């Protein structure tokens, strides 16, 4: 089972979309193994967006991400990184396909609702920024046998 990080950005919370977005991941058959509402600190923003710190847009990105609460989710499932990226959609809402989170709810280039880890390595690094080890849980949801077969698990290895 892979794990990935999803961040519901301030605009998702301000627009009252949190429940709709979270339910999409659950309905897909992914398991939420960590969830918390928090304020992103400037230090967290620098760690999370480390590749953008020296870019001209970083100050406005940091201001946006620290302006209101966010929700951090640790999501588990076979292929969860790739699945969550597809569900999230293209970075800019106006370019995101209908059926994706950004495609259905976003149009802005600056406020794009959600972050989804880019790959497994990024997911591992990012999860450590937002979750302590004791804040991410392991459990076997009853529904898993209906959405993931042992064959799926073996193929993902």
- From the DSSP assignment, how many helices (H) and strands (E) are in the chain? 9, 4
10 Å Cβ neighbour count for 88?
Answer: 22
| Residues with Cβ within 8 Å of residue 140, at least 6 apart in sequence | none
Contacts for 37 with CB less than 8 Å, ≥ 6 apart = 13, 69, 70, 71
The continuous run of DSSP H or E covering 58 comes out as helix 58-65
Catalytic annotation on 115? yes
Beta-carbon contacts of 126 under 8 Å, excluding residues fewer than 6 positions away, are 5, 48, 117
Catalytic residue among 48, 52, 68, 115: 115
Nearest to 21 by CA among 112, 138, 91: 112
Q: Which residues are catalytic?
A: 115
């Amino acid at each position: 089972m892979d794990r990935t990080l999803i961040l519901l950005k301030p605009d998702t919370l301000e627009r009252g979309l949190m429940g709709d977005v979270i339910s999409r991941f659950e309905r897909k058959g992914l398991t939420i193994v960590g969830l918390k509402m928090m304020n992103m600190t400037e230090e967290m923003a620098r760690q999370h967006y480390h590749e953008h710190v020296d870019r001209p847009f970083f100050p406005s990105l940091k201001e946006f991400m620290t302006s209101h609460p966010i929700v951090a989710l640790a999501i588990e499932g076979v292929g969860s990184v790739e699945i969550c990226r597809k569900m999230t959609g293209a970075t800019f809402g106006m370019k995101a396909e209908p059926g994706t989170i950004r495609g259905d709810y976003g149009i802005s280039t600056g406020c794009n609702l959600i972050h989804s880890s880019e790959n497994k390595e990024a997911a591992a690094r990012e999860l450590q920024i937002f979750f302590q080890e004791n804040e991410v849980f392991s459990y076997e949801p009853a529904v898993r046998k209906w959405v993931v077969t042992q064959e799926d698990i073996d193929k993902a290895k």
